[in-house]
């Protein structure tokens, strides 16, 4: 990127002077404690996006509780504060299925890397923290979802609570995931063992891959600036970068000011849409944000520079979906989350995909955890299934159409073969990564990479497909690489002893 420093200084004076982050225009976070109690994920995520400095006391409380529940640890295999009860019988049975390989590896490795004192503390938590935390979760999630589920299944609240306690004790599936995975459905609950938990991958198996199967490549997926540069260098289409803001200064790819086009501004190292916003070019040298704030070009540049003092930001064009998909949006860009993973022969296989759609007042991001909808994408023909939300509240359930009235179920995504080819080329450019979750926008002229996630969350795929990863091709390949990682570790052990 050619560097052209902005003519608007962050320390300029007058009406166009730069504002400090606290003075910059933003949407006030009005999150209340009752929103948290109601499990309003959309409001919580919206507050995080518009209030990245956590000025809202409810947000500060949430983070304080999370830090208490899951304090930082230095183990390779992290365990949640409420330890998994199945760790006590992780070695039982001779099941060699994909699910068993993943479950047993996570639990066995987590147990073995802890010393006697750490194991004693874990055992103590089984009789103290484990029952209390699970009881609180069971009561809370049943209060949120129990009546709606009773209306659909006929199961009473006590019946649901008993089932939640059983799956928590036997499989360490906590109450939120009882509802996320629809385990109140008897046929789904019979396959409970085959669901792979978020903590088993992001806090366990993926770390095993990173330590023992990485080839030493230094390319990054987490830094959006470096990701864009790397993709361009390898001929992989991604979102153009118009400008970078760092330490209070803007540098432009071309020119010396923001162009006359709609813009998308997001932190370079952010995730989940926190701190992101779009700005519509309204003509006459002015821009209007998603929240309705209007700024002249110079003031917008000064604002972007001011927020970059605390963390760097990236400015790119605001993209629009393919015309065949515009009715499945409230204005936010809809994206496909596509999972690719190395196969047994070193190739890159696309195994799972979902199409994400924003709903309601959130017109900035389509994040599933921000209250949006998602539908499974059939790998063979790009056909969408029923759409659903995260499943923590009974608001949406499963539906055939978008709130706009557009039909979702049965529709086919355009440019699907091109999307798969783009993802496979992209993964080949990052050969040190075993698995990547790609966010892909399908535009009028074809697919375009938004970003890649080296530790993709699999909840969205298990929820939308109604199929546990443990019985899929993805689970088979995860188990294959888990065995590879263990073999690589064992082979290296004598040399490092």
Strands 335-342, 263-267: pairing is unpaired
Nearest to 141 by CA among 324, 355, 392: 392
Over residues 347-375, the pLDDT tens digits come to 999 999 999 998 876 777 766 666 689 99
Over residues 37-75, the pLDDT tens digits come to 776 666 676 666 666 667 778 777 777 776 666 666 677
Q: Please state, in angstroms and as integers, the Cα–Cα distance from residue 199 to each residue in 206, 280, 394, 408, following that order.
A: 10, 39, 24, 31
Over residues 98-144, the pLDDT tens digits come to 999 999 999 999 988 888 998 898 888 888 888 998 999 999 999 99
Q: What confidence score (pLDDT) does residue 27 get?
A: 43
Over residues 293-328, the pLDDT tens digits come to 999 999 999 999 999 998 999 999 999 999 999 999
Rounded Cα distance between 426 and 375, Å, is 23
Higher pLDDT, 392 or 300: 300
Domains of the chain in start order, with CATH, are 128-195 (no CATH), 204-226+321-484 (3.30.470.20), 240-317 (no CATH)
Nearest to 221 by CA among 25, 16, 454, 411: 454
pLDDT band for 273, please (50, 70, 90 cuts): low
Q: What confidence score (pLDDT) does residue 22 get?
A: 38
Q: What is the pTM of this model?
A: 0.87
Are 294 and 283 a contacting pair, CB within 8 Å?
A: no
Q: Count CB neighbours of 341 within 10 A.
A: 24
Higher pLDDT, 376 or 45: 376
Rounded Cα distance between 354 and 377, Å, is 5
Q: What confidence score (pLDDT) does residue 48 get?
A: 67
Rounded Cα distance between 225 and 223, Å, is 6
Q: What are phi and psi of 375, to 5 degrees?
A: -130, 140
Rounded Cα distance between 333 and 79, Å, is 36
| Neighbour-count burial of 22, counting CB atoms closer than 10 A to its CB (0-12 exposed, 13-18 middle, 19+ buried) | exposed
Higher pLDDT, 222 or 88: 222
> What would the two tokens of residue 257 be?
């000011």
Rounded Cα distance between 460 and 251, Å, is 37
174: pLDDT strictly greater than 80: yes
Checking 20-26 for CB contacts under 8 A at 24+ apart, the result is 20/306, 21/53, 21/306, 21/307, 21/309, 21/310, 22/53, 23/306, 24/303, 24/306, 24/307, 25/289, 25/291, 25/293, 25/295, 25/303, 26/50, 26/51, 26/291, 26/293
Tell me what the mean pLDDT of segment 257-264 comes to: 95
Helix (H, G, I), strand (E, B) or coil at 99: helix
């Amino acid at each position: 990127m050619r560097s052209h420093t902005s003519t608007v200084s962050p320390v300029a004076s007058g009406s166009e002077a730069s504002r400090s982050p606290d003075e910059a225009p933003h949407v006030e976070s009005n999150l209340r404690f009752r929103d948290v109690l109601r499990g309003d994920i959309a409001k919580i995520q919206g507050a995080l996006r518009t209030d990245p400095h956590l000025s809202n006391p409810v947000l500060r409380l949430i983070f304080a509780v999370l830090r208490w529940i899951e304090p930082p640890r230095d183990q390779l295999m992290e365990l949640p504060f409420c330890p998994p009860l199945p760790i006590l019988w992780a070695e039982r049975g001779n099941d060699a299925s994909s699910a068993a390989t993943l479950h047993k590896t996570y639990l066995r490795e987590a147990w073995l890397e802890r010393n006697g004192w750490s194991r004693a503390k874990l055992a103590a938590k089984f009789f103290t923290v484990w029952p209390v935390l699970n009881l609180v979760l069971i009561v809370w999630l049943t209060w949120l979802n129990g009546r709606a589920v009773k209306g659909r299944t006929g199961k009473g609240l006590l019946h649901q609570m008993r089932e939640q306690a059983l799956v928590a004790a036997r499989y360490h599936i906590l109450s939120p995931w009882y509802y996320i995975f629809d385990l109140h459905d008897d046929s789904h609950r019979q396959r409970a063992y085959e669901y792979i938990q978020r903590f088993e991958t992001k806090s366990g198996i993926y770390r095993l891959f990173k330590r023992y199967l990485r080839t030493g490549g230094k390319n990054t997926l987490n830094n959006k600036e470096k990701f864009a540069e790397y993709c361009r260098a390898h001929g992989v289409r991604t979102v153009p970068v118009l400008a970078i803001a760092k330490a209070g200064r803007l540098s432009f790819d071309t020119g010396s000011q923001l162009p006359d086009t709609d813009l998308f501004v997001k932190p370079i190292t952010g995730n989940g849409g926190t701190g992101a916003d779009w700005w519509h070019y309204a003509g006459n040298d002015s821009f209007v944000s998603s929240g309705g704030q209007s700024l002249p070009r110079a003031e917008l540049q000064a604002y972007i520079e001011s927020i970059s003092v605390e963390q760097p930001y990236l400015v790119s064009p605001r993209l629009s979906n393919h015309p065949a998909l515009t009715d499945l949006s409230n204005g936010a860009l809809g994206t496909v989350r596509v999972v690719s993973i190395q196969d047994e022969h070193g190739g890159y296989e696309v195994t799972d995909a979902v199409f994400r759609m924003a709903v309601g007042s959130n017109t900035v991001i389509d994040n599933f955890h921000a209250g949006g909808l998602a539908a499974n994408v059939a790998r063979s023909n790009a056909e969408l299934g029923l759409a659903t939300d995260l499943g923590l509240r009974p608001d949406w359930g499963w539906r055939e159409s978008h709130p706009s009235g557009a039909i979702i179920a049965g529709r086919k995504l355009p440019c699907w073969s091109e999307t798969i080819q783009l993802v496979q080329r992209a993964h080949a450019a990052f050969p040190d990564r075993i698995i990547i979750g790609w966010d892909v926008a399908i535009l009028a002229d074809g697919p375009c990479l938004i970003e890649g996630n080296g530790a993709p969350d699999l909840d969205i795929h298990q929820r939308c497909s109604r199929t546990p990863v443990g019985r899929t091709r993805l689970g088979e390949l995860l188990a294959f690489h888990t065995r590879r990682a263990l073999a690589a570790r064992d082979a290296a052990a004598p040399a490092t002893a």
